[in-house]
A and B are shown apart, each in its own frame.
Chain A
Amino acid sequence: MRERLGKLTENLDYTLLIAVVLLCFYGIVILYSSTRFGYGVVGENPLFYVKRQSLWIASGFLLLIMIILVDYHNLERFSLAIYIFSILSLILVIVVGRITHGSRRWLYLGVFPLQPSEFAKIALIIFLADFLSKNKTKMENFTYFLLPFFYTGLYILLIFMQPDLGTSLTYIVILIIMLFVVGSRIKYLLTIFLVTFSSFPVLWHFLKDYQKRRILVFLNPNLDPLGSGYNVIQSKIAIGSGGLLGKGIFQGLQSQLKFLPAQHTDFIFSVLGEELGFIGAVLLLFLYIVIIWRGIKIALEAKDIFGALLATGVVSFFLFHIVVNIGMTMGILPATGLPLPFISYGGSFMLTNLIAVGLLLNVHLYKIKW
């Protein structure tokens, strides 16, 4: 234990930790700005969302501490159990989950609504890191190379029943990047890529109407200027009108007038962009870059392939969420409904983010010394 505490103080990645803490603070401020007029049904109490989010952050940091207290190599032993558990939780959602806004994503354990599909992202990263690090050489064989697609496919199948396009895509991106990093043949990856693209017309049939509409509206916002397209147009006006310095915190016209849809969850970046301008947005991106940069560094210095894969999995998870969410609010990527790490309101997602950071920190504790 003493040795472990020594490692903790010696090898803890303070830069990463500070960036995460700053991001959480940043998130709380923006969340307050976007919800203080009582957004949504809850109304009245201007601190309602801020209080809840703070509670989630606090519990997230507790989880994070618990994670770095245990050697991450223990995860290898439990990876299959974690995989099966997360699959079961996704099945449970389909069976007993609660429906909000037309999709079944939530599981009510007591008073806390949990979204198993978020935690499943971590489960997938752990499982794939273990599987790929153990079977690295076998991946030369194409049939073997397809196995992880099967494992991930099971998640996607279950998520599609919810249905949640954004989350499904996150799983795929995590899988592809981890496969790439572990050294899979580029030829294989390209084959998969081509097959997926050519089967797109078939996949199209499996999409829910609203998902089809989102993609179509993305391609041509004028199809639905007051529905899905409206969101994007209003969001663009908000971000664009922020200009260089922004209108000042709590001063956003668009945001405070609630022209913006889901402005405390998926579209929270629009509030930030409007009120704090280009400078505020760049500050946010800078903090993200710090996290990603530390993540890559941790992967490169990892003691073993398992650690390196855990780190790249987490990096790809963050990267995809950041790019897709911000791209969506700026109207350059389709509205897939992926939240913004550390900033968007949402308990399960916040916990998932902090667990992911815990994994990064953990891998870093055992880094090789040059």
Chain B
Amino acid sequence: MKDSYQIPKEIEQRINWLLILIIISFLFLLINLWHLQIIRGGEFQERAVKNCIRSLVEEAPRGQIYDTHGELLVNNRPNVIVSVIPAEVDNLEDLSIRLSKLINLPSEEIIIKVNKNFENPYKPVKIFDDCPQHIIIEIEENKDKLKGVILEVNPRRNYIYQELAANCLGYVGEINKEELERSENSNLQGGDIIGKTGLEKYYEEFLRGEKGGKEVEVDALGREVATLLRKKPVPGNDLILTIDKDLQRFGEKLLAGKKGSIILSNPQTGEILALINQPSFNPNLFANIISYEDWQRLSTDPNYPLTNRAVQNTYQPGSTFKIVTGLAALEEGISNSTRKIYCSGKFTLKDQVFSCWKKGGHGSLSFVDALSQSCNIYFYIMGMELGINRMEKYMQKMGLGEEISIDLPEVSSGIRPSAQWKQRELNEIWFPGDDINLSIGQGYLLVSPLQMHSIICAIATEGLFYRLHLVKQIISAEGQLVQNFSPVLLRRIDISKETFKLVKEGLRATIVKGTGWRANSNEISIAGKTGTAQNPHGENHAWFVGFAPYENPEICITVFLENGGEGGEAAAPLARETLEYYFRM
């Protein structure tokens, strides 16, 4: 019996041709297998058995980091590691006893290390880090008694000035499982050193070089006889920062023993000249693997030395926020150069009493006077008349509640309150009392020092937001320019010249005859605003934002002192000292 249909002869023929291709393919595989395994088998067996061919990885040095004048801040130093290759050890106990005499480590501990970190017989197990010169010599001299012990040299991150700018530079460490899985870079492996925080993390792709390696033939004593293959490691690219080392260091000394931040930048370019955080930490502790004790100490320190306060933490801005309230009031026509308000020291809303910081009141004040005296009553009324919706518009314009664009990881966006925000987060409606609190930078509003700094830059430039950045150039190890970061104008806000002029006048008056008098310098003309953020949990936070010279601003400054007390008393003098130092440089 035959089915209704059958494939045509022509197709049958073609399939037979295909059969020939198949036969050829398998013959091809078989012949090659025969050649590789039977004919050359002996040769490869020899190569595999005496795999006295040792594969060694050569780590690439990370790129170096320089300050704006080309002064070296971060480099790499050779770190000699004593390791054991388990496969080459005849008797681990004997070896550990001999080795322990040299490196001052109990032999039991050496055995534990080898067993714990054993991955495969040919992978070197690290025993001892940072081997000093005299031990290196002894090990080299006793090589014949230390079969299986090798010395590896790896570059180790070296932060030349220890704590200097540590919160910005960040630190490096061994890649962890999550980072390995998240990474898009297929060249990364377990055990690799990568940037964990700060610039080290942000510019990781540039800083990390390309690992090299070599295959060496070793004799029975483990001595390298010949290098069979070698791939040179490619060093990473260098960073040239906008940070001025001396200015940074001056600021850090000024803040020593305190908790807080100072930010200095050029408002016309966005270049950050100093980003100071105290307390700081020594990133050298992390350079390879941080000890458990050090990590415990740093991570549980109540003063959070690992945090970049200026960028990652948020606080109430206090009276520095009056700049924003004032800007909004002028721009919306609620205030102007002539409108005066009488401050009796008290402001009553229904049955609630809100007071000015000056008990007896300021009397009748114009806008410029109100800003310079930091009169609460004036700004309460501005805030009430503006209402939260208009306030929110201006806060958004000034970048509050949004992440600042900067070349650092983990930037906080803070909280920009609004009626919807309060409804959503607290399930409450927005009260007029909230307007009053917000108008002087109290209540729900939270900003990072960097956000406040970005605002003062926009005031100094009359509406320009340049991208803040810490790196101005990336240079290859051969000195070739890889990337140049010229100023990037992120946005220009549409606020009238007159408004800026009045706000700036107020800021200048603050220094000359107002709350910021302690920042008044007879060397340069400074403009600025002080702030004291009420802190129910402890001492108040002190703020100062400002710029200089008043006529033609070339530098902006933000000083923030956590639990530092009064802005005018604590923060303003630090700002003056820093700016005077800058202009003397």
Residues of A that sit less than 8 Å from B by CB: 37, 41, 99, 101-102, 177, 180-183, 224-227, 230, 236-244, 253-254, 256-259, 273-274, 277-278, 281-282, 285, 288-289, 292, 296, 299-300, 302-305, 308, 312, 315-316, 319, 322-323, 326-327, 330, 332, 366, 368-370
- Is there an interface contact between A240 and B18, defined as CB atoms closer than 8 Å? no
- Is there an interface contact between B3 and A368, defined as CB atoms closer than 8 Å? yes
Could you tell me the distance between the alpha carbons of A285 and B42 in the complex, rounded to whole angstroms? 23
Chain B residues touching A, majority SS: helix
- Is there an interface contact between B184 and A102, defined as CB atoms closer than 8 Å? yes
Q: Are A243 and B7 CB-contacts (below 8 A) given A253-B48, A254-B48?
A: no
Q: Which of B25, B41, B212 contacts A241 (CB 8 A)?
A: B41
Q: Interface readout for B306-348 with A: 1 if CB under 8 Å, 0 if not?
A: 0000000000000000000000000000000000000000000
- Complex interface: chain A residues within 8 A of B43 (CB): 240
- Is there an interface contact between A304 and B5, defined as CB atoms closer than 8 Å? yes
Q: Are A282 and B33 CB-contacts (below 8 A) given A224-B231, A226-B214, A300-B7?
A: yes
Q: Which of B8, B28, B121, B180 contacts A257 (CB 8 A)?
A: B121
- Is there an interface contact between A308 and B231, defined as CB atoms closer than 8 Å? no
Question: Shortest Cβ distance from B2 into chain A, in angstroms?
Answer: 7
Could you tell me the distance between the alpha carbons of A171 and B144 in the complex, rounded to whole angstroms? 58
Could you tell me the distance between the alpha carbons of A289 and B27 in the complex, rounded to whole angstroms? 11
Q: Closest residue of chain A to B184, judged by CB?
A: A99
CB pairs A–B below 8 angstroms (23 shown): A41-B177, A41-B180, A102-B185, A180-B18, A181-B14, A225-B231, A226-B215, A227-B231, A230-B229, A238-B48, A239-B36, A240-B48, A241-B49, A257-B120, A273-B33, A278-B37, A278-B38, A292-B26, A296-B19, A299-B15, A312-B15, A327-B28, A327-B32
- Is there an interface contact between B11 and A256, defined as CB atoms closer than 8 Å? no
- Is there an interface contact between A368 and B6, defined as CB atoms closer than 8 Å? yes
Q: Does B349 contact A (CB under 8 A)?
A: no
Question: Shortest Cβ distance from B227 into chain A, in angstroms?
Answer: 11
Q: Are A277 and B184 CB-contacts (below 8 A) given A285-B29, A296-B18?
A: no
Question: Shortest Cβ distance from A295 into chain B, in angstroms?
Answer: 9
- Complex interface: chain B residues within 8 A of A257 (CB): 51, 120-122
Q: Does B186 contact A (CB under 8 A)?
A: yes
Q: Does B10 contact A (CB under 8 A)?
A: yes
Task: List 5 A-B pairs, minimum CB-CB distance, nearest first.
Answer: A240-B44, A241-B48, A243-B41, A225-B229, A101-B186
Q: Which of B43, B51, B185 has the most CB of A within 10 A?
A: B51
- Is there an interface contact between A241 and B3, defined as CB atoms closer than 8 Å? no
Q: Closest residue of chain A to B120, judged by CB?
A: A257
Q: A236-B36, A326-B29, A330-B33 are in contact. List 5 more A-B contacts (CB 8 A).
A: A244-B38, A259-B51, A305-B7, A322-B29, A370-B2
Q: Interface readout for B43-59 with A: 1 if CB under 8 Å, 0 if not?
A: 11101110100010000
- Complex interface: chain A residues within 8 A of B26 (CB): 285, 288-289, 292
- Complex interface: chain A residues within 8 A of B190 (CB): 41
Could you tell me the distance between the alpha carbons of A99 and B48 in the complex, rounded to whole angstroms? 35
Q: Does B361 contact A (CB under 8 A)?
A: no
Q: Which of B41, B55, B181, B229 contacts A259 (CB 8 A)?
A: B55
Q: Closest residue of chain B to A241, judged by CB?
A: B48
Q: Are A368 and B2 CB-contacts (below 8 A) given A256-B120, A319-B25, A326-B29?
A: yes
Q: Does B422 contact A (CB under 8 A)?
A: no
Could you tell me the distance between the alpha carbons of A234 and B30 in the complex, rounded to whole angstroms? 20
Q: Does B12 contact A (CB under 8 A)?
A: yes
- Complex interface: chain B residues within 8 A of A281 (CB): 33, 37
Q: Closest residue of chain A to B7, judged by CB?
A: A308
Q: Does B1 contact A (CB under 8 A)?
A: yes
Could you tell me the distance between the alpha carbons of A265 and B381 in the complex, rounded to whole angstroms? 72
Q: Does B40 contact A (CB under 8 A)?
A: yes
Could you tell me the distance between the alpha carbons of A177 and B37 in the complex, rounded to whole angstroms? 31
- Complex interface: chain B residues within 8 A of A101 (CB): 186
Question: Shortest Cβ distance from B39 into chain A, in angstroms?
Answer: 9
Q: Does B34 contact A (CB under 8 A)?
A: yes
- Is there an interface contact between B229 and A226, defined as CB atoms closer than 8 Å? yes
- Is there an interface contact between B37 and A239, defined as CB atoms closer than 8 Å? yes
- Is there an interface contact between A237 and B44, defined as CB atoms closer than 8 Å? yes
Could you tell me the distance between the alpha carbons of A323 and B28 in the complex, rounded to whole angstroms? 9
Q: Which of A177, A225, A241, A370 contacts B18 (CB 8 A)?
A: A177
- Is there an interface contact between B37 and A273, defined as CB atoms closer than 8 Å? yes
Could you tell me the distance between the alpha carbons of A133 and B138 in the complex, rounded to whole angstroms? 79
